[in-house]
Amino acid sequence: MTDRDDRRAVFRIVFAASAVLLFVSAWIIVPPVHRLVYALTVASPELAPVLLASAGVVAILSSFNARRRAIARVSLIFAAAASALALVPVVQFPIALARFDRSMTRTTAEPPSSNAGPIRVTRGLRFSNADGVPLALDVYQPSASGPRPIIMQIYGGAWQSGVPANQEWFSRHFAEQGYVVVAIDYRHAPEWKWPEQIVDVRTALYWISEEAHRYGGDASRIVLVGRSAGAQLAMRLAYQEGPSSIRGVVNYYGPVDLEDGWRRPPRPDPLNVRGILEAFIGGTPDAKPEHYRHASPITWVSKGSAPTLSIYGSRDRIVDPRFGRLLDAALKRAGATSVLLELPWSDHSFDAVRYGMGRYVSLRYTERFIAWAVNR
């Protein structure tokens, strides 16, 4: 192969890299038209710094031969466009942090320093056998001796899928910081419809109150953390006459008003929100209006509602961020404590991206909120 052939091969590689970067970066602003591309719309904005740096490298390589070769000029244009798209979340990042710091002034405490010691994980502890369905939970214990505050974690999955080991990174992180984390299970739709899920979550909370001391937990200081469907269950459990042992709720992009969610589904709607809600409740809001009202956390908001940290992505195409604003306003009108953090670049499940900006930001403020809640 000649030197000319080598250069052509390099030009083609640079061009391909610029095209891939532009395609991936486009999903920072393009809405998901189908579930097959949904993962890209979640991951692309979270990894914007990586995309920006990569596009910069490709732009530099392309610029060396942009005057002489058309393919290099096209590569440069693609890389510049990708850089411009990736720059948007990067610019939004520090602005959002400054706004969040102001929002959390009253509900912020410094989290305990990580003890960096080994944690103990106990899996498969049976807490329920409702209707012959065995349900178990996992406990993550810190190395520090108890009694320690407890985080009860409820996974999402559209009420249809999931296991307690979901978001294990979160459970391990907080156990390393000195919390006892209890990750629970519940029965799934469509086989099991509302209100069976809240029955299971309440049973898990009862197990914690009776058994958590065996694992170093302080059952008088519990914070509920839920994601999406799990957040709906966490809020619903806390707001309807939740015990005083529930010191706070962390709501990651949870449905708040289920009827509103059905009547005004997202556009586009890659996961078919109406179908998910009908499978969960067992019908439409017209057929089961009381079930939708009963399952909606906003129905049960009161002055005595547990302090709530709500975290939503402004680009969420599953649970519209308006629900975070709706809940925040309702809690504040009732006289309860509420903090709303809205990540302008993020979509649903943003914290699933391991090195994403959304995970970093949400974890930072979740740490501070929980530290404040368990010690208030």
Cα–Cα dist 100/346, whole Å:
15
Examine the residue annotation and report whether 294 is marked as an active-site residue of this protein: no
Q: Which residue is associated with the tokens 């898990």?
A: 204
CA distances from 328 to 35, 254, 310 (A): 29, 12, 8
What are the structure tokens assigned to 358, written together? 């959304």
Catalytic-residue membership of 5? no
Catalytic residue among 128, 188, 348, 349: 348
Q: Which of 75, 128, 171, 228 is catalytic?
A: 228
Q: Are 253 and 235 in contact (CB under 8 A)?
A: no
The letter for the amino acid at 177 is Q
Task: Supply φ then ψ for residue 334, to 5 degrees.
Answer: -75, -15
Q: What is the Cα 243 distance to its own chain's centre?
A: 25
The one catalytic residue in 257, 260, 316, 351 is 316
Active site residue 316: yes
Cis peptide before 147 (omega within 30 of 0): yes
Contacts of 199 (CB under 8 A, 6+ apart): 130
Q: Which residues are catalytically annotated?
A: 228, 316, 348
